[in-house]
Structure 1
């Protein structure tokens, strides 16, 4: 039984619903471990690895052009939520200020609290990806990754790391937290890349 907040979609609804997903009007909170509580003025994103080391403060990020995107999001735990609106700095905008070194092919996303997840540069540097601080017109709640999280809407939502604190550029792929614990290295919801044997 899906419950009153979840429903089976009518087909794929024009290609919007990945296989195995139910639609929700809620925004479930799923977090492993304690929830970090960071004040916006303490947010800092460190860049290192195969990139010139630098840091972006909250003020640095707020001074960059801000973009709002509306898109569907999909969780590996089988829920999808349509038409979510996020505001923040696009990853390509941030990357204009990052100097990569030769050989960088992947990035490990680091979060306050120790969470990590991996992305290829191809998946990371997409126009729709955001460092988001606002959800549906309001400051992003702490439980949902506030004051700032990564949003990568084309992959399962565990790739959209909450409480982002760092970008470590790497010469090859490496598993992050959930990937080391059995999740797929990439996580395409339309291919049902949920677990490492998928």
Structure 2
């Protein structure tokens, strides 16, 4: 690893309304069967030069790597604590394929059409990570292998497992769960769980 971010050297307090619990492999749909030979991550939409960037698995492995100690907060009020994620800092991908000035939002898409809306600022968070490992081991398929987006300041549904694309947007758009009554932002410390709170 080239870097290490440990913002939780001491046990941190849980966000409001959360209780300790295991990291359960909850997700929408079946666990996909992915092949690293054909897997890619694309960054497109309102990019600064209008182009699309496509990273294959070997390309991702060549980028700077880091570790982040971060809890995982489920909207169902469970928090798995003391997790150590490893992978590529999200800001590295933003710098590799920057958004246009007017693009403040991102649609993060995964296998089976799942998608989540976040902001460019969410990706620029120091602990935002395209994770390939959890607690020193490669992610299991149930936990998002080969890559999942980890956004510790947001509820877990905001960080898709099996991520395959980022699309920069000049106007906000709701993701899969956001279209089904969940909060547009999903900040864990503000308990932004449901759309009626917006």
Instruction: Compute the TM-score of the two structures, normalised by the length of structure 2.
Output: 0.89
CA distance in structure 2 between the partners assigned to 1:128 and 1:93 by the alignment: 12
Q: Which runs of 5+ in 2 are unaligned?
A: 1-9
Q: Which runs of 5+ in 1 are unaligned?
A: 1-12
Q: In structure 1, what is the equivalent of residue 107 of structure 2?
A: 108
Q: In structure 1, what is the equivalent of residue 78 of structure 2?
A: 79
Q: In structure 1, what is the equivalent of residue 151 of structure 2?
A: 152
CA positional deviation for 1:42: 2.6
Establish whether residue 41 from structure 1 lines up as the match of residue 29 from structure 2: no
Q: Is the 8 A contact 1:35 1:113 kept in 2?
A: no
Q: In structure 2, what is the equivalent of residue 127 of structure 1?
A: 126
CA distance in structure 1 between the partners assigned to 2:125 and 2:23 by the alignment: 24
Q: In structure 1, what is the equivalent of residue 18 of structure 2?
A: 21
CA distance in structure 2 between the partners assigned to 1:121 and 1:145 by the alignment: 22
Q: In structure 2, what is the equivalent of residue 69 of structure 1?
A: 68
Three-state SS of the structure 2 residue aligned to 1:19 is coil
CA positional deviation for 1:14: 7.4
Q: In structure 1, what is the equivalent of residue 7 of structure 2?
A: none
**Which range is displaced more, 91-100 or 50-59?**
91-100
Question: RMSD of the TM alignment (CA)?
Answer: 1.5
Three-state SS of the structure 2 residue aligned to 1:93 is helix
CA positional deviation for 1:15: 5.7
